[in-house]
Structure 1
Amino acid sequence: MKFNWGTGLVIGMCCFVSFILFFVIKMSTDTKYEYDLVVEDYYGKELHFQQEIDAEKNLNLFSEAITGNKTTDGYTLYFPQTSEEIEGNIHLYRPSNKKLDFTIPLKLNEGKIVIPDDQLVAGRWDISVEMTYQEKEILFKKSITY
């Protein structure tokens, strides 16, 4: 068989396609690489998006803004003085690994709550505080790098 430029072109294209298929199959079957959705019930969550927008607008009920900072114990969220009547939950979402996501109940101590240091891994976290104040739903969102 004579080796000419047409044969070389076909061999080169076959090698390239094989190279691409190898990586597609490897990434699809290897458990080390995860490609989960951002949230489990994505479409169901989108149906409630307007309610989230309204709940974020209700943050104006507070006289002061909710603030937070990193402390030696963990991450501390500070609530306004009128916060003793607040009930709700704090959801911590880790974009890079859903196994690290967790929820804690909102129980304020002197107008603040501490998210323990042992539960927070270094990196980006999205904090979402869903609470009820004066019979209105309020939503506070913040992204932090811990």
Structure 2
Amino acid sequence: MEFEITLAANKDKLFAIATDFETYKKLLPDQILDVKITQKNDSEIVTEETLLFASVIKKEITQQSRHHIINNNIVNSNIISGPLNGSKIHAQFDTNNDGTKVSISIDLKIALKYKILSPLIKKYYKIILRALFYKMNNMA
């Protein structure tokens, strides 16, 4: 699944907010219940997130993600535990005439017991990511 968003914010400010993972819970407190940094070094950040999926059913999930920051314009995130283990998210931030173009590519891997909800989870994930970036734009 891929999509792009063009936001008015400055690329560097937007990227700084996007890589401040603990800010996410302030941006979408109803969906992102908690984010903790569990490991950090020069090349990667590992976070533990508690998310609330609420559509047909409400389901709270906890997952861990490994984030690689590349050249101050790319974030590659790999979910390393939880029901979406093995999923990958690639976000690239590029300056354009209107501000910043954010290109997002998501490869969701959904655990077998959640497979029946796969279409809902994919739709919800995309909606949440879009909302998150619009909130970041407002902060920048």
TM superposition score category, shorter chain reference: under 0.3
Higher helix share: 1
Give TM-score, length-normalised by structure 1.
0.27
Of structures 1 and 2, the larger Rg is shown by 1
Highest relative contact order (Cα 8 Å, sep 6+), 1 or 2? 2
| Larger relative strand fraction | 2
- TM-score, with structure 2 as normaliser: 0.28
